[in-house]
Structure 1
Amino acid sequence: MAESEVIIDGEVLHCIGCGAAIQTEDKTKPGYTPESALNKGLESGEVYCQRCFRLRHYNEIVPVGLTDDDFLKLLSSISATDSLIVYVVDIFDVNGSLIPGLHRLVGDNKVLLVGNKVDILPTSFKHKKVADWLRQQANGAGIRPIGVQLVSGKTNEDVDRLLASIDKYRKGKDVYVVGVTNVGKSTLINQIIRQSTGVKDLITTSRFPGTTLDKIEIPLADGQTLTDTPGIIQPEQMAHLLNGEELKLVTPQKTIKPKVYQLNPEQTLFMGGLGRFDYVSGDKKHGFTVYAENGLYLHRTKLANADEFYEGHLGGLLTPPTADNAAQFDKLVPHEFKTTVKSDIVIEGLGWITVPAGIVVRGWAPKQVAVLIRPAMI
């Protein structure tokens, strides 16, 4: 217990937005709140740190001094518990949602895999195919989930079914909710709290990565606890390359509307300045269906001049990144695939392109962002 932490009735006071211990001395550390704001919070019964207050009211992020190691230490105690682990991933960025070494962090505890943000998928998507894909990706990371559930924390879709699954699998045990930053975990937790208690928007949420800083414990009806853990920073997420303005341009807020482009061999399609798709070779013109944020700028050009076009228009016509961020932005890296069946070329965190069988294509992304091929979801 640090000397600066606020103690009320013998207990450390925690921010109800992010879980950090409240303190009034160091503005650069988690949990800081001015004494005047603290007194108002105590009167109302809702104490938020200054960081959460600014996030809730102004959508403004305030940096604090937590490292990746700090997050991992907070989670390392889970392996010693007898609990159910609810592992939340973003169906729009599955690879970026995977926690390295999660099977070691959770020990022998069972894992329920939850795919969040299902509301952005077009209605033509088959949920079973998506769930199977999530399970395969989890298996590849060494995780063997006891179940897979698709939900939307934003729209409340199938959250009641998730609650039923949690109750079924936990068998009277505590529950830990884990995930990397920016997968919508806190939004989902807020839906669970609302359904359980009627309280709305208790936990701080925003489009910025890393808004939950410490464990937040929520009592369950049988005396056990559901704990929201801090999001682990995953550098491979597209979100960590972007500022708030840029995130608005790539993060879907509504159901994705597919866009079909007719491309000849040796044509290129840019997805802002963050991704690129090349139809390298094939027997004829084909239709390619793009699934990305509805407002993301897409531009078709010839493959022969694509490199020159990218260099000349990055941060301008090809946005994001914005002009301010373009100078330090890494060049895109190519990943080539020859399709044998109808497939999706997935640029994690940006979108995917459905392509026909029997052609050669390339997907381009910043070097730390995964580009994958999977059987088409439609």
Structure 2
Amino acid sequence: MNEHWHCIGCGVEIQTTDSDKIGYTPQAAFEKGLANEELYCQRCFRLRHYNEIQDVALTDNDFLQLLNEIGKTDALIVNVVDIFDFNGSLIPGLHRFVGDNPIIMVGNKVDVLPKSLKKPKMIQWMKERAFEQGLRPIEVLLTSAKKSQDIAQLLTIIEQYRKGRDVYIVGVTNVGKSTLINQIIKQATGVKELITTSRFPGTTLDKIEIPLDDGAVMIDTPGIIHRHQMAHYLGKKDLKLVAPQKEIKPKTYQLQPRQTLFFGGIARFDFIQGEKSSFTVYLANELLIHRTKLDNADSFYQKHVGELLQPPTTEELADFPELVRFEFSIKERSDLVFAGLGWITITKPGVIAGWAPKGVSVEIRKALI
């Protein structure tokens, strides 16, 4: 493709090489579009023909510009987070930009958490964590876009607080925001004609405007890249092992001090000091866990990473960052969180350490469970 061709839907430059980047269209579709003089990027094509929204990612500068725009409008903000990766899917500094606009916080992917968890308790926990980040959501609810759970309730709440205003839906990449919006469109059109889906005016590179029946719009914004998530350091094959696709089955380990757990080769937990205790691990079921002595842990990792300790696979080991250590002194029941991977619940006081690829955040929070 020597010439520059642009999508007639959003104006982005068409490219046929990278399906994860803006402007992608398959080569065959590109040639067909040229012949028919109707050249769309894949995102606009799916939107036009199937009413399906595909997420795109923003750069930091684009994101700041978008946030400043939201702050100047009178709108309702719907902030979608991944309840399994709550810490890793919060938007840094969101509270500084939304101004006086009300926020609804939606915890998506509730289907991957154990069914034994009580929703009211989780919602209260989300409110407390949001307050710590400076956010004051007027409503917090849980959904599963993948399983269409509680979408009708979300629509009712949006209508309750919208009061004729536009609605901005924001979230970092990988929270399932596009799936959620597709469910909203699907359910709303079937239930009460809330959204007109036959056309999407104002479909631009940075956002998609979905008309509401009173003249306002629901605005889907691109996913914001949160660079501290594990997903940005793994290939597609490895990502399938660490991103839960179904309900996770917690695993509990009785550990003595000076014992270590490896989570594949991508993270590590050290129990350094304290009395013998139980530690419950909340990770994707497919990720293998290995226990060893802390004194041997470094050599064990060097010997087995990429083979016994996968992911990363041997092919991806060369590009995989080194593991970085974070030490914490625990005073109360807490979670040690690896952004984008999961967490470990620590029940008794002690000293522990978490290791993750350089760039991935590791932190302590009040226990979710």
Q: TM-score range with shorter-chain normalisation?
A: 0.7 to 0.9
Contact 2:58 2:222 in 1 (8 A): no
State the 1:142 CA deviation. Answer: 2.5
Cα deviations across residues 19-61 of structure 1 (Å, max 9, x unaligned)? x43656887884355251367796xxxx85247779xxxxxxx
Match of 1:312 in 2: 303
Show the 5 A alignment for 1:109-148. Answer: 109-148=101-140
Q: Name the CA shift for 1:309/1:39 in 2 (closer, same or farther; >3 Å).
A: same
RMSD over equivalenced CA pairs, Å: 2.9
CA contact (8 A) 1:87 1:114 kept: yes
- More moved, 95-104 vs 80-89: 95-104
Q: Which runs of 5+ in 1 are unaligned?
A: 7-12, 15-19, 55-63, 203-211
Shift of 1:330: 2.3
Aligned pairs for 1:249-260 within 5 A: 249-260=241-252
Distance in 1 separating the partners of 2:333 and 2:186: 41
Shift of 1:82: 0.9
- Corresponding residue of 1:240: 232
Counterpart in the other structure of 1:58: none
Equivalent residues in 2 for 1:216-227 (5 A)? 216-227=208-219
TM-score by length of 1: 0.81
Q: CA deviation at 1:227?
A: 0.8
Residue in structure 2 matched with residue 95 of structure 1 by the alignment: 87
Distance in 2 of aligned mates of 1:70 and 1:138: 24
Comparing 105-114 with 78-87, which one deviates more in the overlay?
Answer: 105-114
Code of the residue aligned with 1:81 in structure 2: it is T
Cα distance change on mapping 1:121 and 1:41 into 2, 3 Å: farther
Counterpart of 1:36? 32
Count of residues in correspondence between the two structures: 340
**CA deviation after TM superposition for structure 1 residue 250, in Å:** 0.3
Q: Among residues 277, 280, 293, which one is paired with 2:284 in the alignment?
A: 293
Structure 2: distance between partners of 1:93 and 1:213:
27
**2:207 corresponds to which of 202, 215, 230:** 215
Q: For residue 253 of structure 2, give the secondary structure of its aligned residue in structure 1.
A: strand
User: Structure 1, residues 265-285: CA drift from partner, whole Å, max 9, x if none?
Assistant: 21111111121111212223x
Residue 263 of structure 1 deviates from its aligned partner by 1.8
Which residue of 2 is the match for residue 327 of structure 1? 318
1:5-16 equivalences under 5 Å are 5=6, 13-14=8-9
CA distance in structure 2 between the partners assigned to 1:188 and 1:346 by the alignment: 25
| Structure 1 equivalent of residue 11 of structure 2 | 21
Q: Which of 163, 186, 194 is 2:186 aligned to?
A: 194
The residue that corresponds to 2:149 in the other structure is 157
5+ unaligned residues in a row in structure 2: which ranges? 47-55, 198-203
CA offsets per residue over residues 55-100 of structure 1, 9 Å max, x none?
A: xxxxxxxxx9963323443443212211000011111222221222
Q: Structure 2 CA distance, aligned partners of 1:364 and 1:300?
A: 15
- Tell me the distance in 2 between the aligned counterparts of 1:119 and 1:161: 16
Code of the aligned partner of 2:83: I
Q: Is the 8 A contact 2:15 2:23 kept in 1?
A: no
Residue equivalent to 2:49? none
| C-alpha distance after superposition, 1:321-362 (max 9, x if no partner) | 222222232222222233333332222211111222133222
In 2, Cα distance between equivalents of 1:118 and 1:219: 28
Contact 1:22 1:32 survives alignment (8 Å)? no
Aligned to 1:206: none
Which residue pairs with 2:338 in the alignment?
A: 347
**Closer, same or farther: CA 70–332 of 1 in aligned 2, 3 Å:** same
Q: 2:207 touches 2:219 (CA, 8 Å); kept in 1?
A: yes
Aligned counterparts of 2:135 and 2:31: Cα–Cα separation in 1:
45
Counterpart code for 2:289: L
The one-letter amino acid of 2:141's match is Q
Name the CA shift for 1:82/1:38 in 2 (closer, same or farther; >3 Å).
Answer: farther
Q: Report the Cα distance in structure 2 between the residues aligned to 1:289 and 1:297, rounded to whole angstroms.
A: 14
Report if aligned partners of 1:310, 1:318 keep a CA contact under 8 Å in 2.
yes
- State whether structure 2 residue 168 is matched by structure 1 residue 172: no
CA-CA distance at 1:190 after TM superposition: 0.7
Cα separation, partners in 2 of 1:31 and 1:338, compared to 1, 3 Å = closer
The separation in 1 between residues aligned to 2:164 and 2:34, in whole angstroms, is: 36
Distance 1:191 1:66, change over 3 A: closer
d(CA) in 2 for partners of 1:361, 1:101: 29
Classify 1:355/1:194 alpha carbon distance in 2 versus 1 (closer, same or farther; 3 Å).
same
Does the 8 Å contact 1:72/1:232 carry over to 2?
Answer: no
CA gap of 1:32–1:323, structure 2 versus 1, over 3 A, is closer
Q: Specify the SS of the correspondent of 1:226.
A: strand
Q: 1:52 to 1:217 in 2, by over 3 A?
A: closer
Q: Is the 8 A contact 2:57 2:224 kept in 1?
A: no
Provide the C-alpha distance between the structure 2 equivalents of 1:266 and 1:35, rounded to a whole number of angstroms.
Answer: 61
**Aligned partners of 1:167, 1:223: CA distance in 2, in Å?**
14
Which SS does the other structure have where 2:310 is aligned? coil
For residue 305 of structure 1, give the secondary structure of its aligned residue in structure 2: helix
**Distance in 1 between residues matched to 2:123 and 2:283, nearest whole Å:** 20
Change (3 A) 1:51 1:109: closer
